[in-house]
Amino acid sequence: MKLRHKMGLVVFLLTAVLAVVLVLISSTLIRSYTLHGATQYAQTVAEMARTALTESMLNGTTPTLPRLKSRLAETQGLVGLNVERSPANIEQFGPSQEGLPHLDAISAEVITTGRPLYRLEQDQVQAVFRATIPYIADSHGEPNCLSCHQVPEGTVLGAVTIRIRISDILERSYWASLTLAAIILLFVPLLLYLINRLYRPIIRAAEGVESAVARAGDGDFTTRVQTSGSDEASRIAASFNRLMDLLENGLIRISGQIARLVQYERPTNGHLLTETIRAVDELVDAAQFKQAIEEDETKTEVYQRLSQVMRTKLGFSRFSIYEVDDAKNKLVPTLIDGEQSAENRWCDAQILARSESCRARRTGHPVNAFEQPGICTMFVGKGIEPGLEHVCLPVLQSGGVGSVVQVVAPLDEKPHIDQQLANLSVHLREASPVLEAKRLMETLRESSMRDAMTGLYNRRFLEEYLDTLLAGVARNKTQLGLLMLDLDYFKQVNDSYGHEAGDRVLIELARVIRQSVRASDLCVRFGGEEFLVILNDTDAQGAMLLAEKVRAKVEEMRVQLPGGAIQKTISIGVADYPADGENFWQVLKYADVALYAAKEAGRNRVERFVPEMWTGNAGEY
């Protein structure tokens, strides 16, 4: 119910109650005044009767009751008059000779108590007021009662009963009360009009505020309260409108700043306040996310944390994270559906060999197949599960694309994808500089762990990585094949052709070694022309086969120099960890001893370490 209707109903009820109360009060007062007037009237008539009777007795005449009634007949409303003698009066003068009826109970009570009684007697025709008033002997009055009656003063001499018709008076009082109630009820419309006119601005302002607040609760802050005049209601409405202007403009400005900050068009459901709060919460989450990943040690940890956010907070179940390898011009799957080092699933394998085939990588712009189906030809998810589409977001680093994040979902999840893309974009923007810093740190660390000329790991890397390597061997109960390699007569190359030619030979040798081993094997430039190859999960026999393969390829190697081509050979020593010893560095020494034995045996050969070779010191070669 609206406020104006409530006020109208309240005013009507109050007026009705007031009318009823006034009618009741007026009826009660009129009745009281009527009875009071009848009482005074009866007392006057009784006094007239007493005076008339006393004067008759003093004059020696005996008036009869009919003659007394005749004298009072003209009294308005008088319908009955009876006089009864008390026992004391009867004892002195005898009973009345007027043929009066026997005393009724009321008259007997009045004569006995000496107190008047008043009754309102109502029958089906009319209302009659009865007053029974005692006559009491009094020597002070005029005429003197004791001059005739021989009784003590104060003795009840009799009682006069008077009946007066008051129906007409009561009826007129009731009609007066009804007239008063009618006048009050007729005044109600005027009262309602005046109250409505007085409170209309307040009611209008209240209804306007109610409507504006209801719309604001639904996200619409454009509703304003109409104002007119300069009263309190108008000032309240004006203040409310200024508040709504401040809220609307502030929320629009905040939303615009957030859109500029995330550089992503955020979809809205029309609820400005809710969307703004959600956007701010997302920014706070992203800031906390950035703080967390800044404390991570490696890129892998950052990608895992990003994967956790995408799965738990954003609700993505199918997604991939690819890292761009600029050196090899390919994309490397980092996480596939949250699994690390999983196989590529949602895209054609071309992107793994040629990164430009990925549209997001090539253009540096988001690719949204929900908005533009078929925009990227590399997506193969529809063949895996019909109805799937994808969104790819490039992560820019140093002006280029460093990573690509892909989200895959059914078409019916498009509203959820649209809603969460802005949040994902914010997290990727926060992760971008951190990933770049981690990549730079890893590059710097990698460069300090690699030989600048050959690209192979150096001895420092071996020293740092060795504990991890040996822990894996112990955990998996596998073996390591150790190959120590050294070019034969390398010093002659530097002396004959110069150090530049020697560097060319070392570079080609490193290339041959890399091509001969597996990706899981470790190639180290141990120092000068000496190299170390650590073969994972390989026993001595397998190590010998690989060593012979490398020796043969080096023998076939031709290094082109400005003055022609040169050919070199290599000697290799082989040892087995932990078959040859439980101390890795001791086994490495055994491989070095085997290398010395190969040099002693004529070079360009492979030798397997046997205990007989160990004399406590490695040879020189």
Q: Provide the annotated active-site residues.
A: 529
Judged by DSSP in three states, 226 sits in coil
Contact 52, 63 (CB under 8 A): yes
Give which of 93, 219, 97 is closest to 157, Cα–Cα. 93
Residue-wise over 605-614: b if at least 16 C-beta within 10 A, else e? bbbbbeeebb
Q: Which amino acid is at 576?
A: D
561 DSSP β-pair partners: 564
- Contacts with 33 (C-beta within 8 Å, 6 or more apart), sequence order: none
Cα 215 to its chain centre, rounded Å, is: 18
Describe the crossing of helices 299-308 and 272-294 by its angle, rounded to 10 degrees.
150
Q: Which amino acid is at 257?
A: Q
| Composition of the chain by helix, strand, coil, percent to 5 | 55, 20, 25
Cα 304 to its chain centre, rounded Å, is: 29
Continuous segment of H or E residues that includes residue 81: strand 78-85
Residue-wise over 152-168: b if at least 16 C-beta within 10 A, else e? eeebbbbbbbbbbbbee
Count of Cβ atoms closer than 10 Å to residue 289 Cβ:
21
Q: What sections of 450-539 are H helices per DSSP? A: 459-476, 490-497, 499-516
Residue 20 token pair:
């009823």
Residue 81 token pair:
């008059």
Contact 204, 226 (CB under 8 A): yes
Contact 513, 533 (CB under 8 A): yes
Q: What does the H/E/C string look like for 170-198?
A: HHHHHHHHHHHHHHHHHHHHHHHHHHHHH
Contact 559, 493 (CB under 8 A): no
Residue 39 C-beta-side C-alpha neighbours within 13 Å: 11
Tell me whether residue 303 is exposed, middle or buried, using C-beta atoms within 10 angstroms of its C-beta: 0 to 12, 13 to 18, 19 or more. buried
Contacts 24+ apart (CB under 8 A), 56-59: 57/148, 58/143, 58/147, 58/148
410 DSSP β-pair partners: 388
Cα 515 to its chain centre, rounded Å, is: 60
How many angstroms separate the Cα of 361 from the Cα of each of 323, 396, 433, 571?
A: 10, 9, 17, 46
Continuous segment of H or E residues that includes residue 566: strand 564-566
The single-letter DSSP state of residue 379 is B
